[in-house]
Structure 1
Amino acid sequence: MKHTLGALAGVSALAMGLSAAQADTWRYAFEEAITDVQGVYATKFKEVVEEKTDHEIQLFPFGTLGESADIMEQAQAGILQFVNQSPGFTGALIPEAQVFFVPYLLPTDQEHLARFYKESKAINEDFEELYAEQGLELLSMYPEGEVAMTTKEPVKACEDLNEVKFRVMTNPLLVESYKAFGATPTPLPWGEVYGGLQTNIIQGQENPTFFLYSTKIYEVTDHITYAGHNVFTTALMANQDFYNGLSEEEQQVIEEAADVAYDHIVTYQKDLADQELAKIKEAKPEMTVTILTEEERECFKAAASEVEEKFIEMTGDSGKAILEQMKADLEATATE
């Protein structure tokens, strides 16, 4: 309750300050700390915009203005000009965005991923239209690293997740994924995850490696497992009315800033997972780290086809077309 009241107070203060705020100040909220991947991306974006225009970018890290659902509402309402949010949270708003949670669809190879997000027709054309229908201008999608499961008991096969209450984002397809893996998926906002693990309300969760370290989630779990099942995706969006009201020159600067920040974050992440994993091992030497073999991944891969069918069932022809386009884009970007 204290957290909620604090977030509401922050939003209220921001809203009341809108009329007094200078017209050249743009507000940008994201789901992580300023030192995490989204924060590093936002900082580079801010740097380019402020260098090339008279505008100032005001950054709001996670928790400043509430949870993920809160900042999306504020972006759609025009309180925020920019919002950085994972498709995991926009899946209810844009069902097709759940495609990023079809297991084993995305490769874990960083160079392939970098080409795919930059060149994909599905992302840069199809999703741009879908986001526009929700009053959002999609500026960039980018990867944040391979997702790892952290649990209280070792995971070597799907049966090890049996009856494990596994925290997932409030995303219908992610719920279906962990059902297919054998777990009991439990949707929770991020602010409740550490305490949930600490009190055993949940026994597992997933996130990219850097986030496991920065949020200290390793303190309340004992095993890290890499099954290669997914890569965490996030997206930068602008309020569409705001974006459409800009001059052509300003729009070009925003597009350039998004491109520069994309290239910067791809380079930044190259060795990030290994570095942060080393920090976790140093902080908690008893933490076990397991990379599943191809044989151990078989049950998870078998479940992927079931989840893919669920995705098509949820999203119909539109989702099926997006899925097929993404597969074609992945194939086209597999080699340079």
Structure 2
Amino acid sequence: MKMIRRSLIVGAVGIGLLTSGLAQAQDIKPRLIRFGYGLNEQSNQGRAAKVLADEVEKLSGGKMKLRTVGAAALGSDVQMQQALIGGAQEMMVGSTATLVGITKEMALWDTPFLFNNTQEADAILDGPIGDKVRAKLEEKGLVGLVYWENGFRNLTNSKKTVAKLEDLNGIKLRVMQNPVFLDTFKSLGANAVPLPFSELFSALETRAVDGQENPFNTILSSRFYETQKYLTVSNHVYSPWIVLVSKKFWDGLSKDEKDVLIKAGKTSRDFERKDTRAEAAKALEDLKSKGMEVTVLRATEAGRMREKLTTINAAIAVNVGMDLWSETQAELARMRK
């Protein structure tokens, strides 16, 4: 009888431990990561955010989950950057241009007419130069994961055709909250007005500003054609986005968790660039069908703009550091040979 009683007790204890273990396992929740972005869910940015979320969940076996929040619902790029630095938000994607006030080396990507094509951009951004610039963010409480593509930026406005340098005179043009963009368009004759992207459509609709500059995809997905009649294909700046992680959050992750984000980030980058480029040509045709008048800036006029911006480029070189500037120019010259 004692043997039977002892067996029953041991069995009950075993079942209790098993039940407790299962309960604890059920209590383990996946690590939730808030990922904010500015455009809507149907945009190229929104599609890539979904790919990133799916990859994180897949690679982590469900132990990590990204909750993607678009349409600037978590704030403007600048507001989200500050939330990441403070540890109140985990991840985001946004323009490199809005980071210049945090990390001056980011101004390198704002250089007018820096890249001739996307192949040059990919090589520089994904290579040692891009890595050096990303690494600078860690000093400021941010981790740069990968660069996505926003694309070559182009001008739109509601007032007139912009076919030459002088046509920019008098146009109240929204630009990003970035000193290089401000100085660039002031030098070209426009009345440059810094505004967060989240306020842009309303400003265009109420005619608080006359125009803006963004890639075709963003112009289309944000429905700027509803307020803008004239589009100039200027390709004046190649604009990257960057996927950011809060360093406070990053430092609390295990090596395996960091590897998941790095691998998922690269997968999302490759998808996003391919998707963005495939969409760009179609977006331009769609904008034409929406009634926008499209003007392609002639090479001679682009050259005149470059000449007007010589002092801007010199200032960028000093700001980002002559070593970084010279290394970038040397690498571009090497590729162009």
Q: State the TM bucket, normalised to the shorter chain.
A: 0.7 to 0.9
Aligned to 1:296: 301
Q: 1:83 aligns with which of 69, 92, 95?
A: 92
Q: Which amino acid aligns with 2:260?
A: V
- Is 1:137 matched up with 2:143? yes
Q: How does 1:75-224 map to 2 (within 5 A)?
A: 75-107=84-116, 109-119=117-127, 121-124=128-131, 126-152=132-158, 153-224=160-231
Q: Normalised by the size of structure 2, how large is the TM-score?
A: 0.86
Aligned to 1:323: 325
Partners in 2 of 1:128 and 1:148 — Cα distance?
A: 26
| Structure 1, gaps ≥5 residues long | 1-20
Q: Which amino acid aligns with 1:45?
A: L
Cα distance change, pair 236–279 in 1 and its aligned pair in 2 (3 A): same
Deviation at 1:113, TM superposition (A): 2.6
Partners in 1 of 2:261 and 2:231 — Cα distance?
A: 38
Count of aligned positions = 308
Partners in 1 of 2:95 and 2:237 — Cα distance?
A: 13
Deviation at 1:111, TM superposition (A): 3.1
Matched-pair contact (CA < 8 Å) for 1:25–1:57: yes
**Paired-residue identity, %:** 22
The runs of at least 4 aligned residues of structure 1 exceeding 4 Å deviation read: 332-335
SS of 1:65's partner is coil
Matched-pair contact (CA < 8 Å) for 1:122–1:329: no
Deviation at 1:22, TM superposition (A): 4.8
Q: Which amino acid aligns with 1:105?
A: L
SS of 2:208's partner is coil
Partners in 2 of 1:60 and 1:168 — Cα distance?
A: 24
Aligned to 2:3: none
Aligned to 1:239: 246
- Is 1:50 matched up with 2:57? yes
Q: Which amino acid aligns with 1:92?
A: G
**Root mean square deviation, CA, Å:** 2.0
Partners in 2 of 1:63 and 1:249 — Cα distance?
A: 30
Q: Deviations over 1:123-167 (max 9, x none)?
A: 11x213310111111111132221110012111111111121111
Please say which structure displays the higher CA radius of gyration: 2
Partners in 2 of 1:112 and 1:172 — Cα distance?
A: 24
Matched-pair contact (CA < 8 Å) for 2:85–2:141: yes
- Is 1:74 matched up with 2:83? yes
Matched-pair contact (CA < 8 Å) for 1:87–1:100: yes
